[in-house]
Chain A
Amino acid sequence: MVSISLRNICLDYPLYGAYDFSLKRRLLGHIIREPGEMRIIRAVDNVTIEAEAGARIGLAGPNGSGKSTLLRLIAGVYPPSSGSIAVQGNVVPLLGLNAGVNLDFVAEDNIALLLRISGRKPTRSVIDDIWAFTELEARMQRLPLRMFSSGMLMRVLFATATAFPADILLLDEWLSVVDEHFAEKAQERLLNLVSQAAIVIIASHDQPLLRRTCTSIINLDHGRIASTVTVEPPATHTFELCEKRA
């Protein structure tokens, strides 16, 4: 059973200044009784979210409202300061595409390594499937990523990241993929991925996109839930797809 349950979650994000990284300063501060005032920001403030299988949740809000932090909290990057969090299911966070790339390696090896990092076995057929999606020439598989243009690099990374379905999909900013033709294809693949996942949480500034893909939109402001909007099904094509699969 796939579910996410956040109850009264708060996250105090410590902002380490240059001095806060110094052990000497910290010890000295103890001796000369200067309380090391660490600045703390409440990045997530008393957030409660319950999501069952089939939920598509959009996170909206201005920059610094805690969207990405909340996603990382669900992914387990940050431990909550208080409140309880229970996540059941295999979480795939797609927060940044570049993580774990080694530009000196050939494309093929990079794909294999990225798949291993996400706990998949990189077989020949899987890599070939991924490569087919990028629509790049087969011989480029053997070239180091350093030689790829940024657009090509994006294609490879995107194709790898979205190769496997997930129970819980966390997306930060609808992945911006260059190249108009590929963007369309990428969109389609992502929507397909979204439709297969049991729970999807998307953080984005793009309101129309959130309305298209999500069942409810949570507006965040300074880490608090400002409002929760349930999206009336506008009966678009993509949404029907979601419902059938879920």
Chain B
Amino acid sequence: MHHTSETPRRPSVLHIFKIYYPDLFGGTLTVIRDICASLKDAFASAVLVCSRSAAPRDIVVNGVQVERVRSFGNLLSLPAAPTYPWRLWRKIAEHDLLALHAPFPLAELVFAFGFGRNRPLVVHWHADIVTHAGLRWFIEPLMRRTLRRAKAIIVSDHVLVDNTPSLREFEDKCHVVPFGIDTSGYDWPKIEPHHVNDRGRLVLACGRLVPYKGFDVLIRAAAAHSFEVWIIGEGAERSRLQQLILDLGLGDRVRLLGSVNDCERIKLMCLADVFVMPSVTNAETFGLAQLEAMAAGRPVVNTALDTAVPRVARHGMEAITVPPGDAEKLGEAIDTLIRDPERRRCMGLSARTRALTRYSATAFRQGMEAVYRDAVAAPSEERSAIAEPPQATGWLDTVRIAAALAWSDMRHRYVRSLLGPFWMSLQMAIVVAVLGSVIGQMSNANMLARLPMLALSMTAWTFLNSVVLDATTALQNSASLIRDRALPPVIFLLQCTFRQALFALHNACVPLALWLILSPHDLSHALAALPGLLLFVACTFALSLVLGAMATRYRDLKPIIESTLMLAFLASPIIWSSDMINHRSTVMRLNPLTHLFAVWREPLAGGHIDPTSIVYVLVALALLIVASVLTLVHLRKAAFWI
């Protein structure tokens, strides 16, 4: 613990966002920083974000612990930080409350899949997804699931709830806490604006240089008028804006100031004549910068978005509101204010009054604190402690019980008949003999030499096929053990793999006999095939785990799985081999089973494995493992399904 001095431990809050100081400055970050600072007596804050800089991962900003996960650039406005979900999942357990600053799909992914369910979650709704609207179909379900499990949703104005469909659904959870601003820093009685800037035509704008801020509109508006524009902020659009300024020949009147520290910014706010918020999309939900300008007593020109922007500074009272993206109207509105100092003074006064009364830092702090406290304290709804499953059946026990059950299944076969599973091997021998002769007729290759491989492939296929088919009914067949003996459901899926492995060992006597009779015996090849076989078994188990659980939840999947397996059998080189048909057809190359068989068949035949096969199988295994982990999380609910 970092803070040992306080006697009653403060609940700790983890703020989850994509980026933080010192990598960037901006409105959302100001909000997070203000929350951390103003609640520091009641809550211990920590921040988990992404960063492109390779610099130290853990830093302290304004006394707040910040962990920065390495990101490799931006992809569709999102940091490409593959390890972020993993870090988030690890950090969740260390904190009492999670504060997600939405939208941030990378984190929503974690919550949507049900991780971190044991900690209360508060969502700060900063904006809807506006850019990359094409990705909505993917992002929206994640967002809905995240919102559904949130304890509370904080928005800055009620209009956001009314205009955002995804929020309307959870209206009862939404709390309106308007951003607040500490106005004490804005008292600059000594600098009367006209003393510094008598010309009365300085227009200021402030924000990250990103498309939705609409600074290009402002620059184009400046072209038709004579006022001077200073833009505070940094961002990806800088070069484009700079080019636009040069193209319009405004180099002497329009300046991009870049990042400016807080003190300097306040000073600039105080000397500007008009503050402009030219944002063009609903991504601008509040406009914290215009609130700062209001605190500095500046009149505002803003845009008529469907968000809180035109409600913070209202048209005709503290601001002139123009249609978003309309350079002409924007220019006219600014010009109106520039030409009318008396109106500027009135508007500025009422702006300052509104900032002081309606958007005070105290109200903001109290509102936040109330929501956080409720989330942490309240009758800990949604706080089921999954961390400790009541019956701590370890992994070893699980495997041991599954093995005992599988062993008893195998003995059961011997109880009913003397030959036991060898009956199946006999059947297998017949299938191999018949198939061998048929295929021998079709191709003129030496079929006898192929027979051992054919038999082995059939054995392997039978294993995979039966494991998956068994898994689809395993949980239902063991319902009483799951419900009455409280055994973890995963045992019974593992049992399928063990049982079929035992049967496969019986079946393996057919290829073994053929191999001993028909092939030159080379043990080193068999050893080389072992890693591939292990991969094959691992993939089979993971596949059965996922499909078994899904087929239990959705009963109509079983026939689909059966027919798919049949199709896969025909479409994969099991009874035929790739050199028999048109060399490497597309279907065959895309079929993961081709590669899953290749990784152990090639070395067994004395050949080399194609590297693409290895990559293919490893990728498939990785995906299956991810799916298995998700399945294991959901398998806790299996008792409801059976």
Name the contact of B401 in the complex, choosing from A16, A23, A116 (C-beta under 8 A). Answer: A116
B78 contacts A by Cβ under 8 Å: no
A79 and B485 CA atoms in complex are apart in Å by: 15
Q: Is the CB of A99 within 8 A of B481?
A: yes
Q: Is the CB of A79 within 8 A of B483?
A: no
Name which residue of chain A comes closest to B554, CB basis: A23
B520 contacts A by Cβ under 8 Å: no
What residues on B are CB-neighbors of A22 within 8 Å?
A: 554-556
A116 and B641 CA atoms in complex are apart in Å by: 26
* Contact stretch, chosen from B100-108, B275-283, B389-397, B533-541: B389-397
A77 and B401 CA atoms in complex are apart in Å by: 17
Q: Is the CB of B482 within 8 A of A77?
A: yes
What residues on B are CB-neighbors of A10 within 8 Å?
A: 381
B5 contacts A by Cβ under 8 Å: no
A85 and B388 CA atoms in complex are apart in Å by: 8
Chain A, 19-35, contact with B by CB distance < 8 Å: what is the 0/1 string? 00111111000000000
B526 contacts A by Cβ under 8 Å: no
Chain A, 48-77, contact with B by CB distance < 8 Å: what is the 0/1 string? 000000000000000000000000101111
B243 contacts A by Cβ under 8 Å: no
Name the contact of B480 in the complex, choosing from A72, A100, A102 (C-beta under 8 A). Answer: A100
A77 and B642 CA atoms in complex are apart in Å by: 12
Name the contact of B639 in the complex, choosing from A78, A99, A116 (C-beta under 8 A). Answer: A78
What residues on B are CB-neighbors of A102 within 8 Å?
A: 408, 412
Question: Main SS of the interface on chain B?
Answer: helix
A148 and B379 CA atoms in complex are apart in Å by: 52
Query: B203: shortest Cβ distance to chain A, in Å?
Result: 48
Q: Is the CB of B485 within 8 A of A100?
A: yes
Query: B181: shortest Cβ distance to chain A, in Å?
Result: 37
Query: B404: shortest Cβ distance to chain A, in Å?
Result: 4
What residues on B are CB-neighbors of A46 within 8 Å?
A: 379
Name the contact of A82 in the complex, choosing from B384, B388, B486, B487 (C-beta under 8 A). Answer: B384
Name the contact of B380 in the complex, choosing from A8, A77, A113 (C-beta under 8 A). Answer: A8
Query: B564: shortest Cβ distance to chain A, in Å?
Result: 14
Chain B, 393-417, contact with A by CB distance < 8 Å: what is the 0/1 string? 1000100110011001001100110
Q: Is the CB of B415 within 8 A of A117?
A: no
Query: A48: shortest Cβ distance to chain B, in Å?
Result: 10
* Contact stretch, chosen from A88-96, A181-189, A226-234: A88-96
B192 contacts A by Cβ under 8 Å: no
What residues on A are CB-neighbors of B380 within 8 Å?
A: 7-8, 82-84
Q: Is the CB of B405 within 8 A of A113?
A: yes
A46 and B412 CA atoms in complex are apart in Å by: 46
Q: Is the CB of B379 within 8 A of A91?
A: no
B636 contacts A by Cβ under 8 Å: yes
A79 and B117 CA atoms in complex are apart in Å by: 12
CB < 8 Å A-B pair total: 118
Chain B 181-222 residues near chain A, CB threshold 8 A: none
Q: Is the CB of B385 within 8 A of A93?
A: no
Q: Is the CB of A113 within 8 A of B384?
A: no
Chain B 554-568 residues near chain A, CB threshold 8 A: 554-557
Name the contact of B384 in the complex, choosing from A13, A80, A98, A118 (C-beta under 8 A). Answer: A80
A144 and B411 CA atoms in complex are apart in Å by: 13
A87 contacts B by Cβ under 8 Å: yes
A14 contacts B by Cβ under 8 Å: yes
Q: Is the CB of A105 within 8 A of B408?
A: yes
Total number of B residues with any Cβ neighbor in A under 8 Å: 42
Q: Using A77-B486, A91-B486 as known contacts, say yes or no to A98 and B480 having CB atoms under 8 A apart.
A: yes
Chain A, 147-189, contact with B by CB distance < 8 Å: what is the 0/1 string? 0000000000000000000000000000000000000000000
Name which residue of chain B comes closest to A106, CB basis: B415
Q: Is the CB of B382 within 8 A of A77?
A: no
A208 contacts B by Cβ under 8 Å: no
Q: Using A21-B556, A78-B640, A82-B383 as known contacts, say yes or no to A105 and B415 having CB atoms under 8 A apart.
A: yes
Q: Is the CB of A119 within 8 A of B554?
A: no
Q: Is the CB of A23 within 8 A of B557?
A: yes
A113 and B487 CA atoms in complex are apart in Å by: 14
Q: Using A82-B382, A85-B384 as known contacts, say yes or no to A14 and B555 having CB atoms under 8 A apart.
A: no
Q: Is the CB of B415 within 8 A of A104?
A: yes
B386 contacts A by Cβ under 8 Å: yes
A86 contacts B by Cβ under 8 Å: yes
Q: Using A14-B640, A83-B380, A102-B412 as known contacts, say yes or no to A74 and B390 having CB atoms under 8 A apart.
A: yes
Query: A192: shortest Cβ distance to chain B, in Å?
Result: 22
Q: Is the CB of B401 within 8 A of A104?
A: no
* 20 extra A-B contacts, CB within 8 A, seeds A80-B384, A95-B484: A21-B554, A21-B641, A22-B556, A72-B483, A72-B639, A78-B639, A79-B636, A81-B384, A82-B380, A84-B383, A84-B384, A85-B390, A86-B385, A87-B388, A93-B486, A96-B480, A96-B483, A100-B485, A109-B411, A117-B404
Provide a sorted-by-A list of 12 A–B residue pairs whose CB atoms are within 8 angstroms: A13-B640, A46-B379, A79-B637, A81-B384, A82-B384, A87-B391, A96-B480, A100-B481, A100-B485, A102-B408, A104-B412, A113-B405
Q: Which residues of B contact A (CB under 8 A)?
A: 379-386, 388-391, 393, 397, 400-401, 404-405, 408, 411-412, 415-416, 480-487, 550, 553-557, 636-637, 639-641
Q: Which residues of A contact B (CB under 8 A)?
A: 7-8, 10, 13-14, 16, 21-26, 46, 72, 74-87, 91, 93, 95-96, 98-100, 102, 104-105, 109, 113, 116-119, 144
Nearest first, the 4 closest Cβ-Cβ pairs linking A and B are A23-B554, A76-B390, A96-B484, A75-B486
